A = this chain, B = another copy of it.
Amino acid sequence: MSAELDVVCIGNALVDILAHGDDTLLERLGSQKGTMHMVDAARAEEVYAAMGAAAEASGGSAANTAAGIASFGGNAAYIGRVADDTFGHVFTHDLRAVGVRFDAPPASNGQPTGRCLVIVTPDAQRTMYTFLGAASELDPGLVDETLVSAAQVTFLEGYLWDQPPAKEAIRRAASGAHGAGRRVALTLSDPFCVERHRDEFLELVEHEIDVLFANEQEIRLLYEVDNFDDALQHVRGHCEIAALTRGARGSVIVAGDEVHVIDPAPVQVVDTTGAGDLYAAGFLYGLTHGHDLATAGRLGSLAASEVISHIAARPEVDLAQLARPLL
């Protein structure tokens, strides 16, 4: 069945608010460095008041992936929820401006558009505080079945499991996609996210997911194993395709008997934010454009290397042009 869309990405729609800060600030906020904290509106205000001067840019993990696919020249859509407010307009503008289809109506629960407050310490680590706001209203009605059945791949971010109403929406998206003969992909998102939702993720990976993205720490936590190879042997039996990223060690793609070990693209690392999101973008672009798994993995590495060479979590150059030597 031919598809109108390459990928529909479903996730928490967030605007990033980014400031530099030192360890003293994190201590004052009582926060563990390098982790993502889910916060309510009051705590978000408290953190923002304590933060230095900031810059704002659209973010959200799956939205970054959608923007990356569009930058490769792919045909991507996004499902997620913003409010009818300034940050909602900014988020919508920034996705549409890069060619991502985004038609979900603004949330009606009265909450403002979600945001992710990011404090970057001098050691280049990021400590994040996510206030979901309107994103928390991703109910089943929002999953456009026409969109899901029109896309070769429906891509879900693990962070969605942090908002209970989204689970039904996700099940509906997965069954809609499978009913139309399409694939369902998932990223485990974050080690803490795996710890929070391990049992559900395991069941999902066994029964619903065709393409799994995870980094080394996430996949080891999922299977509660101490080394990468053990995790690799586990996932091999469950998903059609697993793309496992290992930072500076590159990535490993496993699909039944087929295994590829992909080197990372050389890069001067400035900020690792968005690495996983953009790896998924490159991989999914490759997968939906008839490329073999090794090429898809190389496109993933390429996109990840671009996004970690600068502060922003979305590509700053045309990935289609960057990828030309590989295709």
Q: Which residues of A contact B (CB under 8 A)?
A: 19-20, 48-49, 51-58, 67, 85-87, 90, 93-95, 97-98, 112, 312, 314, 316
Contacts and interface: CB of A to CB of B under 8 A. Distances in A.
Contacts of A48: 93
A285 B58 CA distance: 35
A320 to B, nearest CB: 15
A98 B52 contact: yes
Nearest to A93: B48
A134 to B, nearest CB: 13
A272 B93 CA distance: 27
Given A48-B93, A93-B48, A53 B98 contact: yes
A55 B312 contact: yes
29 contacts: A19-B97, A48-B93, A49-B93, A51-B93, A51-B97, A52-B97, A52-B98, A53-B58, A53-B67, A53-B93, A53-B94, A53-B95, A53-B97, A53-B98, A54-B57, A54-B90, A54-B93, A54-B94, A54-B97, A55-B55, A55-B56, A55-B57, A55-B312, A56-B57, A56-B90, A85-B86, A86-B86, A86-B87, A86-B112
Residues of A contacting B: mostly? mixed
A213 to B, nearest CB: 23
A314 B51 CA distance: 16
Contacts of A85: 86
A90 B19 CA distance: 12
Task: List 3 tightest A-B contacts by C-beta distance, closest first.
Answer: A86-B86, A56-B56, A53-B94
A112 B51 CA distance: 24
A49 B53 CA distance: 27
Given A53-B67, A56-B56, 19 more contacts: A20-B316, A51-B93, A52-B97, A52-B98, A53-B93, A53-B94, A53-B95, A53-B98, A54-B57, A54-B90, A54-B93, A54-B94, A54-B97, A55-B55, A55-B56, A55-B312, A56-B57, A56-B90, A86-B86
The number of times this chain is found in the oligomer is 2
A202 to B, nearest CB: 36
Contacts of A52: 97-98
A55 B55 CA distance: 7
Question: Taking each of A48, A87, A93, which has the highest tally of chain B beta carbons within 10 Å of its own beta carbon?
Answer: A93
Nearest to A312: B55
A83 to B, nearest CB: 10
A56 B112 CA distance: 18
A19 B19 CA distance: 19
Question: Taking each of A20, A53, A87, A112, which has the highest tally of chain B beta carbons within 10 Å of its own beta carbon?
Answer: A53
Contacts of A312: 55
A196 to B, nearest CB: 30
Nearest to A88: B86
Nearest to A53: B94
Nearest to A112: B86
Contacts of A94: 53-54
Contacts of A51: 93, 97
A312 to B, nearest CB: 7
